[in-house]
Amino acid sequence: MKKKVASAMAVSAALSVFLAACGSNGDNGNGANASPSSSQPAASDASPSPSPSASAPASESASPEKAENFTVSLRHIQIGDAQKFRKAILDDVVKKTESEVPGLKFELDGVEDSVNRFTKLPAEMAAGNPPKIMDIFGGAGDTQKYAKAGRLLDLTPILDELGLKDKFLNVLEPFSVDGKVYGLPIGGNTEGIFYNTDIFAKYNLNPPTTWDDLIKAADTLKKNNVAPFAAGSKDAWVPNMLVNTLIGRIAGENTNSGFITGQSKWNSPDVVAAYQMIADWEKKGYYPKGELGKAYADMLTDFVAGKAGMMFDGSWRSSAFKDDAVGKDISGKVAFVSLPPIPNGKGNQTSVNANYGEGYGFSSDLNENELKAVKAFIKNMYSDEMQLRGLLEDGVLPSMKLSDESIAQVTDPVVKQVLDVLKNAGTTFPHFDSVVQSKVYTETETQLTKLIAGKATPQEVGNAIQKAQDAENAAAAK
Amino acid sequence: MRSTLKNPYVYLLFVLPTIALYFLFFIYPMLTSFYYGFTNWNGLDTKDYVGFANFANAFKDADFRHSILNNLIILLFSCCIQVPLIIVCSLLISGVKRLQGFYKTTVFMPSILSTSVIGILWGFIYDPDVGLLDKTLRSLGAPTIYWLADTNWALPAILITNAWQWMGFYIVLILAAILAIPREIDEAARIDGATGPQRAWYLTVPLIKPIINVVIMLSIAGALRVVDIVLVMTGGGPAGATDVMASYMVNKAIKYSDYGYGTALSIIIFAFALVLTALYQILFARRQERVEF
Amino acid sequence: MTPTLRKSIPHILMMAYVVVILAPFLFILFSSFKADNLAIALHPFGLPKKWEFENYREAWVKAKINVYFFNSLYLAFSSAVVGVLMAAATAFALVRMKFGRISAWIYQFVLIGMLIPGNVLFIAQYLLVQKLGILGTHWSLFLPYTAGALPFSVLLICAFMRSIPRELEEAAIVDGMNVLRMFGQIVLPLTVPALVTVFIVNFLGNWNEYLLSFFFISKDSLRTLPAGMVQFRDAFQTNYALICTGIVFSVLPVLVLYMFLQRKIIEGLTAGSIKG
């Protein structure tokens, strides 16, 4: 037994050296391809330490003794074909970091987004053994809860050390507790309507930029046996995106952030009206049959196959319509708009949802080596270069301040439309999933599914969620 | 010479590891379940004693009541529909000479496969776009059924899959008992002019009653144990339509981090298992030799 | 009704049953060789127009079926072997050694375990392995698997040992053999049929176990086949051809084993359920 372990370790040591070697090569190649200009020098200018690539790890590696090998677990959610651009960026950061930190080998563990967020991480956090680096969401249900329980690493000193503190847009709030930062959003997005321009042209429809045009488009498509909206309601967070925007528009843009303070209520007439709209659309048949059996990936598949004319999705999906991506079949035939102004809505009807909700968090349980690895990972992942790559390759909006020249490099038409949507927005509001407690959020999913299945009325949905909200607010006040 | 078999050290050596492991992973968790079941532990910070609140909430919880109902539906389906079919099938197989081994091997096969793989396999068969079942039904002129997405069809879909996996197992069980019946009895009845079905009903079935009892007991236990297939195929959805007690419990504990409530639910499941087993023993099986569980 | 017709009715009915059992397997097998969902949707029943062996390479690499497979294999095997040996030793002590009353108590105590449905202990076991610091390691599966099989294994082996005549053991005692050697050289070999039965039941149970393996293990490199397959499906939800390939990979070894050992497996599993 002992012997086996020893030999396995020897092999893995050899392997990690080999991989590290490949890693640095591969990284150079990709980096050169992806960002031909500016980003690298920009990073070093901004950083107070003499040279960012040498900051944390290099100083330690100067020590004479041979580096011992160690692994750092890294939980990511970039699995499947649709995530491949994001995964490529992650892979490059991993390779680069491994080449910089002697002896480091990342152990990547890819888990599907909602499984990670709602099943794996909560359990691991409860157990006190989360991965050292993990994909994490901001807000009371995720980062803030875990930070309060002492599970997450306080990143404030690291941000100071790396000079990253002022590089971020004003997006760290959901990842902060008492002014300390526990997670870093990787990028941002807004949720809106993708529509198939070919199908709209075929049925002579105007782009869905006004409410009347949207409804007319939906009715026309329905009549012609094309699903107006593609759906992925088996994963309830997917229809929850539209719920969120409807609440922001119908009940007001401050509603979502008011649930935890008690200023807004889930069962108030305005919020119920938002759910009522979902129920009405269900009744009108705006969604394909069997939508509760369709997962998030199916939504894209149906949309790409032309089975649906529109889909309400996050702007991150824009990367799926590139020439070499899963949605290449309709590349160039997709446009993105925000939800048009809703008649009689109480909110600012130019407001859009903007999320900087997903990023990386780090376990508070780190030894010295692991801390080095984490620092190097942060330095490499949260760089101008990777932010720009995220925007250009993956259509993810930067969470850090990028120069106008960098942003001007965007050529992808859909990403440009996304940027336009945000530029034209009067104001923005967050997704409630980064605001409310996790039990409340889970309840919104449970109830929304019931609403879609016709097993609950909008009022019942509002009441049930508010009940969970009351319980959580009471518990938080204690 | 007796002392050889009275060596206490060897006795301890042989018994202690088993007792220790068994205690640690059976008895201790059972005891802690009772402890956690009376707290509101969320895995992270709070762990207060809450009395019977979890149990009271469980029975007020409409979703949990619905999952109890689903367990009972599964139970009734397996006892009232599967068991008769199982008996008929084993009688059919026992009556043939050619291909008997082939039938036995084939029907038994699904029960050695992993439930999770079977869940994935059948999820594909039920797929409304590319699945085998939809193609078959549509070629017969039936409309598309969104099996796992339809709150009315999802549970039947799971029942079918579950039956597909386990019926063969029980068939083989009963078949073995039928084949163990001495041939002479059957011969004698045949000479007396009894037809095949008559002999099966009046002769074979009474003789294999003990094993039928076993099958029913196993079906009851099985109906309360169903969880993998639900988690893999639907996760309890759509809208809780396929949630059973165990899947509801797992989701509550893991998704909501409600360990206190979750363990309370697990105690309720345990109570159900005990009561149903005891009830069946008392009501139906008392005249048979007691079946040990 | 002619006699031949009457004779063939059971065959017709059973053949229908057999088709229901086998059709899904054929469907999966054919689909695994097809290019994509479209190819499956267009010709669900037929052989593939073009055989896509590429799927197999892709699934083996992408789905890491090889990793899951060997994890399952060694976990299922080791915990079944350890469980059988522990149960055999305990059964021997309870049935053959002279500690009458204590043995009876212990026997009853262990049998209580059979009343507890496995999933009832799920949360508590989860918290337990977490407290023991073995959550996320193979120990968190090995120990519950081994422990979970004990009550039934002890019961079955006890029943079998009671039926072995005592003469051989008594002769061995007369020859001055000590109890450890007697157990190893005389009793164990005589008990082999029961041990094999118990081993098969435990092995298959561990091999197929999903709940613990899905929730107790989070590292991909440690996952077992049932949990790994579900993970794989979630990742490649829309590529059914690839998923089918994964299913073939995970089902085939068991079916091959079944082909060779079917009598023993059937005997073992059915005996397992009626407990001797």
Q: Which residue in this structure is represented by tokens 């057999």?
A: C18
Q: Of A305, A338, A291, A290, which Cα lies nearest the Cα of A196?
A: A305
Confidence of residue B285 (pLDDT cuts 50, 70, 90): low
Subunits close to A (at least 3 CB pairs below 8 A): B, C
Residues from chain C contacting residue B120 (CB–CB below 8 Å): 229-230, 233, 243, 247
Beta-carbon separation of B259 and A126 below 8 A: yes
Neighbours of C241 (CB within 10 A): 25
For residue A152, give the DSSP letter: B
SS (HEC) of chain C: CCHHHHHHHHHHHHHHHHHHHHHHHHHHHHHHCCCCHHHHHHCCCCCCCCCCCHHHHHHHHHCCHHHHHHHHHHHHHHHHHHHHHHHHHHHHHHHHCCCHHHHHHHHHHHHHHHHCCHHHHHHHHHHHHHHCCCCCCCHHHHHHHHHHHHHHHHHHHHHHHHCCCCHHHHHHHHCCCCHHHHHHHHHHHHHHHHHHHHHHHHHHHHHHCCHHHHHHCCCHHHCCHHHHHHHHHHHCCCCHHHHHHHHHHHHHHHHHHHHHHHHHHHHHHHHHHHCC
Domain match, C120 and C257 both? yes
Confidence of residue B145 (pLDDT cuts 50, 70, 90): confident
**Per-residue pLDDT reduced to its tens digit, A128-156:** 889 999 999 998 889 998 999 899 999 99
Q: Which residues of chain A have pLDDT under 50?
A: 1-64
C23 in contact with B, Cβ within 8 Å = yes
- Structural contact between residues A384 and A310, judged by C-beta atoms closer than 8 angstroms: no
> What range defines the domain where residue C7 resides?
3-52
Let me know if residue C248 belongs to a domain. no
Residues from chain C contacting residue B126 (CB–CB below 8 Å): none
Q: Of A49, A106, A38, which Cα lies nearest the Cα of A74?
A: A106
Domain match, C26 and C87 both? no
CATH topology of domain B37-283: MetI-like fold (1.10.3720)
Beta-carbon separation of A289 and B241 below 8 A: no
Write the DSSP string, A11-27: HHHHHHHHHHHHHHHHH
Strand partners, B57: none
**CATH number belonging to the domain at A2-188+356-402, selected among 3.40.50.620, 3.90.120.10, 3.40.190.10, 3.30.420.10:** 3.40.190.10
Report the CATH number of the A191-353+431-477 domain: 3.40.190.10
- Structural contact between residues C218 and A120, judged by C-beta atoms closer than 8 angstroms: yes
Domain match, C105 and C212 both? yes
Q: Of C117, C42, C72, which Cα lies nearest the Cα of C228?
A: C72
**pLDDT of the residue at C113:** 84
Of A119, A450, A452, the CB nearest to B254: A119
Question: What 3-state class would DSSP assign to A71?
Answer: strand
Find the DSSP H helices in A230-314.
Answer: 237-250, 255-258, 269-283, 296-304
**pLDDT of the residue at A51:** 39
Domain match, C44 and C111 both? no
Distances (CA, A) of A349 to A339, B263, C16: 9, 47, 62
For residue A74, give the DSSP letter: E
Let me know if residue C247 belongs to a domain. no
Beta-carbon separation of B22 and C265 below 8 A: no
Subunits close to B (at least 3 CB pairs below 8 A): A, C
The residues spanned by each domain of chain B are 1-33, 37-283
**pLDDT of the residue at A34:** 36
How deeply is A190 buried, as exposed, middle or buried, from its count of CB atoms within 10 A (0-12, 13-18, 19+)?
Answer: buried
Q: Which residue of C has its CA nearest to B275?
A: C115
Residues from chain A contacting residue C126 (CB–CB below 8 Å): 123
**pLDDT of the residue at C273:** 67
Look up the CATH number of the domain holding residue C202: 1.10.3720.10
Domain match, C44 and C91 both? no
Q: Which of B1, B114, B266 should one mutate to test binding to chain C, selecting the residue with the greatest count of C CBs within 10 A?
A: B114
Regarding beta strands A191-196 and A308-314, do their DSSP bridges make them parallel or antiparallel, or are they unpaired?
antiparallel
User: Chain B window 58-97: which residues touch C at a Cβ cutoff of 8 Å?
Assistant: 89, 92-93, 95-96
Q: Which residue of C has its CA nearest to B42?
A: C127
Q: Which residue in this structure is represented by tokens 């692994």?
A: A71
Q: How many domains does chain C have?
A: 2
pTM of the model: 0.82
Distance from CA of C235 to the nearest CA of A (A): 5
Residues from chain B contacting residue C266 (CB–CB below 8 Å): 104-105, 108, 172
Domain match, C38 and C86 both? no
Q: Which residues contact C210 (CB under 8 A, 6 or more apart)?
A: B114, B115, B116, B228, B231, B232, C226, C227, C230
CA distance C2 to B290: 44
CA distance A319 to A396: 8
Helices first, then strands: H and E counts in chain B? 16, 0
Of A120, A128, A295, the CB nearest to C218: A120
Which ipTM score applies to this complex?
A: 0.86
Cis (ω within 30 of 0) for the bond into B238?
yes
Beta-carbon separation of C136 and A129 below 8 A: yes
Beta-carbon separation of A112 and C234 below 8 A: yes
Domain match, C94 and C43 both? no
Q: Which residue of C has its CA nearest to B229?
A: C210
Q: Which residue of C has its CA nearest to B16?
A: C90
Q: Which residue of C has its CA nearest to B126?
A: C24
Beta-carbon separation of B15 and C115 below 8 A: no
The residues spanned by each domain of chain A are 2-188+356-402, 191-353+431-477
Domain match, C105 and C196 both? yes
Distances (CA, A) of C116 to B114, B162, B269: 21, 21, 10
**Which pLDDT tens digits describe chain C residue by residue (276 residues)?**
567 777 788 899 999 999 999 999 988 888 888 877 777 776 767 777 777 788 888 777 777 788 898 999 999 999 999 999 999 999 999 998 888 789 999 999 988 888 888 788 999 998 899 888 888 899 999 999 999 999 989 988 998 898 888 888 888 888 888 888 888 888 899 999 889 888 988 898 898 899 999 888 877 889 999 998 888 888 776 678 888 888 888 888 888 888 888 888 887 777 766 643
CA distance A124 to A136: 13
Q: Which residue of B has its CA nearest to C174?
A: B1
Domain match, C207 and C90 both? yes
**pLDDT of the residue at B286:** 56
User: Chain A window 38-77: which residues touch B at a Cβ cutoff of 8 Å?
Assistant: none
